[in-house]
Amino acid sequence: MLPLICSARAVSEFAQELGAAMESHSANVRRLVDEFRGRSSNSRVDIGGMRRVWENLLRQVEADASSHLDLAAVLQQQFSRPTLEASFHRKLQSRKRNVSLSSQVFDHRDAYEQVVSKTEEKLQRARLDYKRAYAALLTSGGGGVEQELKRAYLESHNAYILQLRATNAITERYQFHCLPGLLGEIAEVYEELCGLACKCVAGISETAGERAGEQAKRYQVVAKEAQAILPSNDLQVII
């Protein structure tokens, strides 16, 4: 179960690191926009459609920088932190149990296989004794020897049946009482941690998707505006 906890923490830490990367990216983009806006301000030609779409492009890129900064805050505060806190709480619970539930299952499984292996050996010996006693009874010549062989046969038969029932009881106890309880606990913890990780992934994807959709619409407007620019109109203004 601890690997699953680590997976949930990995998603949380990824959201945190992604947010930090977006903060850095936002700062770099802002510096880039400021630099090129400064270059444009030194130009003597500050009229016309080309200058207008250029400024619109810079504004959209600047808006992207702000959007990345907002997204970074959302990733870190709404997704990373709650997921990290929840997975840390679950990790503490697992440590209090001294061993993870999955380890308990494997430990119980190993113990079960050892017990079953021993009971199987006893069952095979009992079965072999039973077959030998039966074969000896069939070849008996009667009299007192036959009664002794019959008694030995009944004893071996009863011993075989008892051992068979013991083997079946161990299997039934493990499969219908021990294992279901452990698997139920594992399922409960898995559903919780899987839900945490998937909720975080979904939140990151949906939030990024929404901003990407908004970004696409804004740039489509700038693209249409740029395609509609007529150089001849700008030349008339300049001249």
pLDDT reported for residue 229: 82
The pLDDT tens digits of the residues spanning 37-66 come to 888 776 655 567 788 899 999 999 999 999
pLDDT tier at 92, thresholds 50, 70, 90 = very low
Nearest to 127 by CA among 93, 157, 172: 157
pLDDT reported for residue 105: 64
> Could you tell me which residues come within 8 angstroms of residue 166 by beta carbon, excluding any fewer than 6 positions away?
119
Q: Decide if 137 contacts 156 (C-beta within 8 A).
A: no
pLDDT tier at 95, thresholds 50, 70, 90 = very low
Helices (H), the chain: 2-41, 49-74, 81-96, 101-138, 143-173, 179-227, 231-238
Cα 2 to Cα 6, 20, 28, 30, 93, distances in angstroms: 6, 27, 38, 42, 11
Q: pTM of the entire structure?
A: 0.59
pLDDT tier at 23, thresholds 50, 70, 90 = very high
Just give the CATH number of 1-99+115-237. 1.20.1270.60
Sequence spans of domains, the chain: 1-99+115-237
